Amino acid sequence: MKKLLLLLLISSSFAFGQSDTSMYFPPINNSEWATIAPESLNWNTKNLTALLDFLEQKNTSSFLILVNGRIVVEKYFGTQKVDSDHPWNSAGKTLVSAVVGIAQQENLLNINSKVFMFLGKGWANEPWEKIKEISIRNLLTMTSGIDNSSQIIRKRNLTYRADAGTRWAYHNVFQKLMEVIEEASEKKFENYFNEKLKNKIGMEGYWRNGLIFRIYHSNARSMARFGILALNNGTWQNEQIINKRYFNESINSSQELNPAYGFFWWLNGKDKYMLPGSEQVFKGPLIPNAPADMYAAMGAADQRLYVIPSKKMIIIRMGEASNKRNPSFALSGFDNELWEKINEVIK
């Protein structure tokens, strides 16, 4: 039987009032999580069933909506449960971006430094005079210039195609940043990640080596915890975990080639965008139906973390590809369809 948690609250202490307009941070090492009834937000709850039916039809396993850090809607489909793990796929790139920012604030690196300073001359193929110009920032912004025809990260595949900073191309070479972190911190990447990020915000999960790169796995609530951190510009309660200036840079256009891309975050509301595997520039916003200020972590098979500052809202979607015949590495038509359904509920 599919499990539905539409959290309708009885206690008046949880009614949407002054106390619920403040930001809520779920406690560490505790399953407790404050909730809000969707009716108390004046949502069109009669349209909620249609939204959930759409998600089920699109192979969703987990779906959450949070406002001010509190859960409003929580839904699990099929065998998925609240503590079931699921791969983030490329949505996990934003975790790497966060850890790079933490390492910079600890003076372990500077994102303008060249990659070879940490990984040595042999981290990629010749021509050396071109490879040596690739910076950490280039890896963060997908502007390394390395050929993206193969997404398998082996030295023989890391070859020059364009000067660093002159070409935007989605590439899994980002995982070299994990090696940079390891060299800079003198710790295994996962150990550094756990210490500096995961444990501080109470996430669960682990990194697993996939066919192409290391992929983070966690339950949907752990993704929501990272979403709360992102919504609060890198702050968790009273601790600035990610430098605010760095985080703000990461959720703004990182280069002019694809203004809809920050430091592994996808950005809505820009006048043009590019997509993985294509050099075509598309006009208009990334997801027309979504709020213009939204930024998102996006992974293959439609793993989604949407952050909407203007609404103090976080939305999580995990599952299989919405279109199994034509899965996408990042953006798909599913996003705009999903936001059409979401708008019918929240507006």
Task: Please give the chain's pLDDT, 347 residues, in tens.
Answer: 444 444 433 333 333 333 578 999 999 988 999 999 999 999 999 999 999 999 999 999 999 999 999 999 999 999 999 999 999 999 999 999 999 999 999 999 999 999 999 999 989 987 999 999 999 999 999 999 999 988 888 888 899 999 999 999 999 999 999 999 999 999 999 999 999 999 999 999 999 987 667 999 999 999 999 999 999 999 999 999 999 999 999 999 999 999 999 999 999 999 999 999 889 999 999 999 999 999 999 999 999 999 999 999 999 999 999 987 665 556 678 999 999 999 999 98
CA angle 40, 45, 49 (to 5 degrees): 145
3-state helix, strand, coil in the chain (%, to 5): 35, 20, 45
Cβ count within 10 A of residue 51? 22
State how far the alpha carbon of 345 is from the alpha carbons of 2, 39, 70, 302, in Å.
Answer: 21, 10, 17, 21
What fold, for 3-104+177-346? Answer: Beta-lactamase (3.40.710)
Task: Determine if residue 238 is left, alpha or beta; phi over 0 gives left, psi from -120 to 50 gives alpha, anything else beta.
Answer: alpha
- In angstroms, the CA 285 to CA 270 distance is 5
- Angle at the Cα of 217 (from 215 to 221), degrees rounded to 5? 140
- Could you report how far apart the first and last alpha carbons of the chain are, in Å? 30
**Distance of alpha carbon 197 from alpha carbon 221, whole angstroms:** 15
Are 280 and 272 a contacting pair, CB within 8 Å? no
- Where are the chain's structural domains? 3-104+177-346
Taking the C-alpha atoms of residue 47 and residue 40, their distance in angstroms, rounded to an integer, is: 15
Q: Which residue blocks in the chain are alpha helix, DSSP H?
A: 48-57, 93-105, 116-119, 128-131, 136-141, 176-185, 189-193, 199-201, 220-231, 244-250, 333-346
Q: Which of 160, 140, 138 is nearest to 149 (CA)?
A: 160
Q: What is the DSSP string of 270-336?
A: -SEE--TT--PPEES-SSTTS-TT-EEEEETTTEEEEEEGGGTEEEEEEES-SSTTS--SS--HHHH
C-alpha–C-alpha distance, residues 32 and 111, integer Å: 37
Structure tokens at 332: 């798909």
Please choose, from the candidates 246, 245, 280, 263, the residue with its C-alpha nearest in 3D space to the C-alpha of residue 143. Answer: 263
Q: What angle do CA 201, 209, 130 make, to 5 degrees?
A: 95
Question: Distance between CA 102 and CA 16 in Å, rounded?
Answer: 35
Q: Which residues of 268-279 are buried (b: 16+ CB within 10 A; e: fewer)?
A: bbbeebbbbeee
- Which amino acid, one-letter code, is at 55? L
Q: Residue 3 has what pLDDT?
A: 44
pLDDT at 151: 84
The rounded distance, in Å, linking the Cα atoms of 155 and 126 is 10
CA–CA distance, 229 with 50 (Å, rounded to integer) = 30
Cβ neighbours of residue 151 closer than 8 Å, sequence gap 6 or more: 171, 172, 212
Interatomic CA distance for residues 310 and 290, integer angstroms: 12
Q: In what order do the strands lie in the sheet with 266-267?
A: 3-6, 70-76, 60-67, 313-319, 303-308, 295-299, 266-267
